[in-house]
Amino acid sequence: MIPILSPFLAFCLVLQNPTAAGKGTVLSPAVETALREIDLHRLQAAVAFLASDELEGRDTPSRGLRVAEAYVAARMGAAGLKGMGPGGSFYLETRRGSWKLPREGLVCREVSGPGLPQIGLLDAGEKPFTFRGKLDEQAREAGLRILRAPPTDDLPAAFRGSPFTAGILLRRLRGAAGNARAVICRTPRNHPFVRMAKLLSSRFQMEGGRRTPPALPILLVPDEVELPPVLDLRIPARLRRETVLRNVCGLLEGRDPERKREALVLSAHLDHIGLGTDPKDPIRNGADDDASGVTAVLSLADAFSALPERPRRSLIFVTFWGEEKGLLGSRAFVEDPPWPLERIVADLNLEMLGRPEKGARFQAWMTGWRRSDLGKILAEGAAGIGVRIFEHPRYSSRLFGASDNASFVAKGVLGHSLSAGSLHEDYHGPGDEWTKLDLPHMTKVCQGIFLGVLRIVEDLETPRKR
């Protein structure tokens, strides 16, 4: 039988036919009440909002992400959680630098002549770059190089509009630039650089993210424009500002005077990759990745709060910024934790729950399966409602370090991610829309997670490292 029973829930949680594991499980009225909070229509409302075009793909940093944070905080408050930030706020703040390309102050013309037609800047330096002289030896000595935009014909056609394509081409250009101090890049008007330039001048970018190359002034000039023999060039520096980033974090305190000192963390990343350069649909909505996980965290908060008595152990619900920039928000969380790390039983991170693989509805797989027995505990609980939690033969070990659980693991805390799909064709693309989610599947998987987690926080099953 599945030992979901605990002394506390015994009065209400009845197992019929205890010999048939999972089958014939009748959930107690208390658990039924809690599970009803995990409701398809309420899940839909949350995920449809978080993945709406209005939030513009929740880039870090962006206004869309800030609005999403406010929504998560409001929902945590409504679930009766206690804010874990200063003064009971739900926000754990981090300050970081961010930058944007300048839109003004650019000069590119023949000395004392009119300005040349330009497309714009693809990057700018930490300091302004100025050059006035002949475009020959003099330019070379000043570190100014004239290059052609890298061709796109060796890239798959489907990728040509994606931000990654522009990123790959930019790396190629930087490679060709060597130790140049500034670059004039001759660019066809339909090159991916043109859209990228627009994007970078309209939005602030995080500093210190993964794969951030050093700043380099790069001016795009249409390749049909003839450069004059003597040039007056002034490229202003990057604009900077400080950005406040917010993990959103709430506590459901356990009821057992001793065990409430121990907490299980349920986490998901709130950010996504923002806008791409595809003119037809630039918004990377990130419905499955990871509005689905955030929605699950919120509905689990509702469900655990709806139990007539709080579970014995504490539960921490948190959403992170900057996962897509290199797990930055979760790193900030473990560097300055609002709860002692040694009293975190485990981090269960929820990632991409809404699009099951073919033939795998009502199932979810856990990363790093063999590193602890958390998967086994969750699986036993989830089976009570017919949800299968398992080790994915391809992804469980491969993706163990690919999400926010890795920040906990790096600090010696047990951490795993739970996922219900695979890296589908809309992953990080404009097609990751909420209308493509399998909501009945997602709802049921959340209910399964609830029953699995209940075993840890109520039945005091303690996952151990292997």
- Residues paired with residue 187 on neighbouring β-strands, in sequence order: 222
Which value, to the nearest 10 degrees, does the dihedral of the CA atoms of residues 44, 82, 403, 296 take? -20
Residue 238 or residue 416: which is nearer to Zn ion going by CB?
416
Residue 193 or residue 408: which is nearer to Zn ion going by CB?
408
Rg (CA), the chain: 26
Least distance between Zn ion and beta carbon 200 (Å): 23
Look up residue 117 and give its DSSP letter: P
Please, what is the angle between helix 40-50 and helix 63-78, to 10°? 150
Least distance between Zn ion and beta carbon 154 (Å): 29
Residue with tokens 């690919």: 402
Look up residue 318 and give its amino acid. V
Residue 302 or residue 351: which is nearer to Zn ion going by CB?
351
Binding mask 335-354 for Zn ion (x = CB under 5 A): ----------------x---
Under the binding rule (CB under 5 A), the answer on residue 426 touching Zn ion is no
Question: How far is Cα 265 from Cα 300, in angstroms, rounded to an integer?
Answer: 11
Look up residue 29 and give its amino acid. P
Residues in 357-376 at the binding interface with Zn ion, rule: CB under 5 A: none
Under the binding rule (CB under 5 A), the answer on residue 404 touching Zn ion is no
Least distance between Zn ion and beta carbon 207 (Å): 21
State which H helix or E strand residue 252 sits in: strand 239-252
Binding mask 191-230 for Zn ion (x = CB under 5 A): ----------------------------------------
Tokens matching residue 226: 């003839």
268 three-state secondary structure: strand
Residue 299 or residue 419: which is nearer to Zn ion going by CB?
419
Residue 289 or residue 433: which is nearer to Zn ion going by CB?
289
**Pair type for strands 388-390 and 363-366:** parallel
Assess contact for 337 and 94: CB atoms under 8 A.
no
Residue 288 or residue 458: which is nearer to Zn ion going by CB?
288
Q: Which stretch binds Zn ion (CB under 5 A): 92-100, 109-117, 284-292, 295-303?
A: 284-292
Question: How far is Cα 92 from Cα 245, in angstroms, rounded to an integer?
Answer: 8
Least distance between Zn ion and beta carbon 431 (Å): 16
Tokens matching residue 165: 């394509």
Least distance between Zn ion and beta carbon 428 (Å): 9
CA distances from 276 to 66, 283, 425 (A): 19, 6, 16
**Binding residues with Zn ion: total (CB under 5 A):** 3
Under the binding rule (CB under 5 A), the answer on residue 271 touching Zn ion is no
Least distance between Zn ion and beta carbon 403 (Å): 6
Least distance between Zn ion and beta carbon 368 (Å): 16
Under the binding rule (CB under 5 A), the answer on residue 290 touching Zn ion is yes
Q: Which stretch binds Zn ion (CB under 5 A): 201-209, 256-264, 290-298, 378-386?
A: 290-298
Which value, to the nearest 10 degrees, does the dihedral of the CA atoms of residues 395, 401, 403, 404 take? 140
Tokens matching residue 122: 């693809």
Considering only 37, 59, 289, 426, the residue that binds Zn ion (CB under 5 A) is 289
Assess contact for 383 and 21: CB atoms under 8 A.
yes
Least distance between Zn ion and beta carbon 408 (Å): 16
Question: How far is Cα 458 from Cα 453, in angstroms, rounded to an integer?
Answer: 8
Residue 351 or residue 432: which is nearer to Zn ion going by CB?
351
What is the contact surface with Zn ion in residues (CB under 5 A)? 289-290, 351
